[in-house]
Structure 1
């Protein structure tokens, strides 16, 4: 375990948490400060495994079969002309990412008809091939699973799962993003804790059995964890754990393991041969590297022999786990520049916004306020004000709407990294994302450079130029 953590640090992989279970017991757990055990974390596509579980529960209740046609569930939203491939599409194909589409349907479904009916828009996208003949990682397919739950039960996906899965597993903190029609996204958007991830993994490891109750049929666990379609894609083989086949919203792994995973390193890895579960949240671009470290360091150590007591090694590991941390911004708490620029109003140069295209931030003015104990920056524009504030050399809890559509909890740190440069780090603490902003002051000019730690788009954002 210690070697795994050392390997993570050696490769500069940004993990936020890890929990390793074996034989039903927590073997190791740790959170990198400022992330904590009681914080929920955005799962991205690891949400899909919870969506699949909901379908399994609904099948057990007799609400549907995986062999039901998708059109039979949504007859009123069927297109005027139904092709043979759409007619042949079953719930099984949604679950196994084998709808016959060659490209993800989500963006097209969300944009079509102004996004007023994602289900209707999905059904209007003709599959390119017969369902079951081609693998395509299709977020639209998983959204349809969520829509199926809501259509058949009258409950949103999360509400359906609470009494049947979350409450029995002791998962209290959970929220799920919705589309404009009030349907939980299904493919992403679930926020839960690392413990909750681990408990889902343990439930699957135990074939759906949980403290005297069969919450999920063992037959469903077998179907969900079995490869139904080959996921291998042409390439250089640098991501072997994405080439082992795909189940019901679970990926097969090497070493007879399987997993749910989400963008930037959200993992629930189930290892039946080792009777183990590994839960991880993180912000990494190279997800294969995390799995490689697990196979290199954790898997070989989980043998059948009884381990001898090694109190010194145990204490060292406990100390390592207790002191995991992402360092706050390093620098000084003061600069001669602070007094010169504090409370000055800077006006954005409109020309610097053109590089942002349609994604330009609603920023017209910026004001910095520095005191010996804390700092604050205020961005205003578009009839809105966005504030970020924090301390020096530490993580400060807060909330901001900056670069977000609504107020999000953040952990913030800042420091003078050079006499003319103040650096701020804003960790959107319930997501993998972190924004670093460098404010360079030069006379009456201010340049604001910003970059993400991980992103679906460019990490480096166009600079913003200001004048006072």
Structure 2
């Protein structure tokens, strides 16, 4: 099939009808751009977290070292790290090979929470095993991180520096950054930040067998081995409702619709299907790959499924708050600074202002612990804020790691975009998005008698690691 603009818009319409927030999509076919889409306030070039898509990049680095004869897949990981032998809690760890890490068959049945630890490897080395290595699939990001440590030990370079020279530069990828653990290892399981257009370049290189513009970048034999079935995953994912039950390669997933994919949390995706010479790279904010792939399979494999789904809504922007710009009496009562009653989040005051300059906008200020969080929101448009992201991050941290040193480069800007609307005569809602996060933050303020009730909640964060909702009452 030939992918065209109509296919792309039908795919977007299907995703929008499912309530999936798609920020950017790039479709390559036969090496050429077939379709691209971005929704305000985002762009194809914005650098965003790939989460577990990172694992596939880690795999590529291992493959490069293997081709150079610097490591073998059946070598024990511990052979490269003898300093950990004395800390091994289960003798089975001594049998864990590089291949076992690549296929997620380590043998443990729990992923340790290591993000506040100084030495992440100890979270694996010091744990008991449930299975013999190589026998049972269990998805564990620490497998990928041990591989990152291995790349650094074997090559003498951090994984990020190793791939900068050997992968990113040849592909023309210039804007990216990589998070690190406290000991300076690139996080092998989820630390890479990259744009959607550059993720599509990576996918195209894989589709072409490791070649880019006629030159070998990734060893072709590694592309073949890493992207084919190496381990069954059905025992781990028995339900029909998951795309992850189709098998695993070397840090790549097999797909129900054919081909393979790199997948990251909250809808980060690079899907490669060789039978159509197709690469689909996507950044979104949703749960699981199945929600993105099922509509794509329909568009690719069933032309009839496109009937009646062409978009009627504006897809050039993420959904804005659907409401009025003003609310008369309720708006007048909310204007000003109000003291908060005692609350779980220790918020002290909430302040609201409304402006009618070139177009309506609202300004919300929340204070706690001598910090002030201000956000300006546009009505019917996303308004840019260059401050505020840090505060939102403190309220709803993704909580993936606690790096000793921030590896974010100086060219990145922590920008927040916001819009607002009165969704009822007494209820005001703000919607916030951040350029370098999948987090979607919402603030809803309702006038209830002599009080204002303010609710703050977030989507696109890991529940259980931090609060995902706050409720505050303030006296009017």
Which TM-score applies when normalising by structure 1? 0.87
Using the TM superposition, name which of 442-451 and 399-408 deviates more.
399-408
RMSD in angstroms over aligned alpha carbons?
2.6
2:324 maps to which residue? 332
After TM superposition, give the deviation of residue 204 of structure 1 in Å: 0.7
- Give runs of aligned pairs for residues 21-420 of structure 1, distance below 5 A: 21-81=28-88, 83-105=90-112, 107=113, 109-110=114-115, 115-233=117-235, 237-239=239-241, 241-299=243-301, 323-336=315-328, 337-347=330-340, 349-350=341-342, 352-353=343-344, 361=345, 363-373=347-357, 374-399=361-386, 400=388, 401-405=390-394, 408-420=414-426
SS in structure 1 of the partner of residue 391 of structure 2: coil
After TM superposition, give the deviation of residue 218 of structure 1 in Å: 0.6
Supply the distance in 1 between the matched residues of 2:91 and 2:199 (Cα, whole angstroms).
39
After TM superposition, give the deviation of residue 144 of structure 1 in Å: 1.2
Using the TM superposition, name which of 213-222 and 394-403 deviates more.
394-403
After TM superposition, give the deviation of residue 299 of structure 1 in Å: 3.8
After TM superposition, give the deviation of residue 269 of structure 1 in Å: 0.7
Q: Assess, with a 3 A threshold, how the Cα gap between structure 1 residues 260 and 235 changes in structure 2: closer, same or farther.
A: closer
After TM superposition, give the deviation of residue 423 of structure 1 in Å: 0.8
After TM superposition, give the deviation of residue 418 of structure 1 in Å: 2.5
After TM superposition, give the deviation of residue 120 of structure 1 in Å: 2.8
Supply the distance in 1 between the matched residues of 2:144 and 2:348 (Cα, whole angstroms).
39
Among 437, 448, 451, the alignment partner of 2:457 is 451
Supply the distance in 1 between the matched residues of 2:87 and 2:181 (Cα, whole angstroms).
24
- Deviation digits for residues 56-98 of structure 1 (CA, Å, limit 9, x no counterpart): 2232344322222111121113334564311110111111101
Q: Assess, with a 3 A threshold, how the Cα gap between structure 1 residues 394 and 188 changes in structure 2: closer, same or farther.
A: same
2:401 maps to which residue? none
Is the CA contact 2:363–2:374 (under 8 Å) kept in the aligned structure 1?
yes
Is the CA contact 1:30–1:321 (under 8 Å) kept in the aligned structure 2?
no
- Deviation digits for residues 202-229 of structure 1 (CA, Å, limit 9, x no counterpart): 1111111111211111111012112221
**Structure 2: where are the runs of 5+ without partners?**
1-6, 398-412
The answer to whether the aligner puts 1:434 opposite 2:440 as a matched pair is yes
SS in structure 1 of the partner of residue 10 of structure 2: helix
Q: Assess, with a 3 A threshold, how the Cα gap between structure 1 residues 70 and 286 changes in structure 2: closer, same or farther.
A: closer
SS in structure 1 of the partner of residue 364 of structure 2: strand
After TM superposition, give the deviation of residue 121 of structure 1 in Å: 3.1
Supply the distance in 2 between the matched residues of 1:55 and 1:365 (Cα, whole angstroms).
52
After TM superposition, give the deviation of residue 181 of structure 1 in Å: 2.4
After TM superposition, give the deviation of residue 36 of structure 1 in Å: 0.9
Supply the distance in 2 between the matched residues of 1:31 and 1:60 (Cα, whole angstroms).
38
**Structure 1: where are the runs of 5+ without partners?**
302-312, 354-360
Is the CA contact 1:78–1:120 (under 8 Å) kept in the aligned structure 2?
no
SS in structure 1 of the partner of residue 121 of structure 2: helix
Q: Assess, with a 3 A threshold, how the Cα gap between structure 1 residues 384 and 61 changes in structure 2: closer, same or farther.
A: farther
SS in structure 2 of the partner of residue 403 of structure 1: helix
Supply the distance in 1 between the matched residues of 2:373 and 2:85 (Cα, whole angstroms).
44
Supply the distance in 1 between the matched residues of 2:163 and 2:203 (Cα, whole angstroms).
16
Which TM-score applies when normalising by structure 2? 0.85
Is the CA contact 2:236–2:245 (under 8 Å) kept in the aligned structure 1?
no
After TM superposition, give the deviation of residue 169 of structure 1 in Å: 0.9
Using the TM superposition, name which of 74-83 and 381-390 deviates more.
74-83
Q: Assess, with a 3 A threshold, how the Cα gap between structure 1 residues 81 and 426 changes in structure 2: closer, same or farther.
A: closer
The answer to whether the aligner puts 1:3 opposite 2:10 as a matched pair is yes
Supply the distance in 1 between the matched residues of 2:52 and 2:429 (Cα, whole angstroms).
32
Q: Assess, with a 3 A threshold, how the Cα gap between structure 1 residues 66 and 454 changes in structure 2: closer, same or farther.
A: same
After TM superposition, give the deviation of residue 199 of structure 1 in Å: 0.9
After TM superposition, give the deviation of residue 149 of structure 1 in Å: 2.2
Kindly tell me the number of residue pairs found equivalent between the two proteins. 440
Is the CA contact 2:90–2:127 (under 8 Å) kept in the aligned structure 1?
no
- Deviation digits for residues 355-397 of structure 1 (CA, Å, limit 9, x no counterpart): xxxxxx4533222222224322222222322221122221011
Is the CA contact 1:102–1:134 (under 8 Å) kept in the aligned structure 2?
no
Is the CA contact 1:110–1:121 (under 8 Å) kept in the aligned structure 2?
no
SS in structure 1 of the partner of residue 331 of structure 2: helix
1:19 maps to which residue? 26
After TM superposition, give the deviation of residue 457 of structure 1 in Å: 1.7
Supply the distance in 1 between the matched residues of 2:347 and 2:420 (Cα, whole angstroms).
21
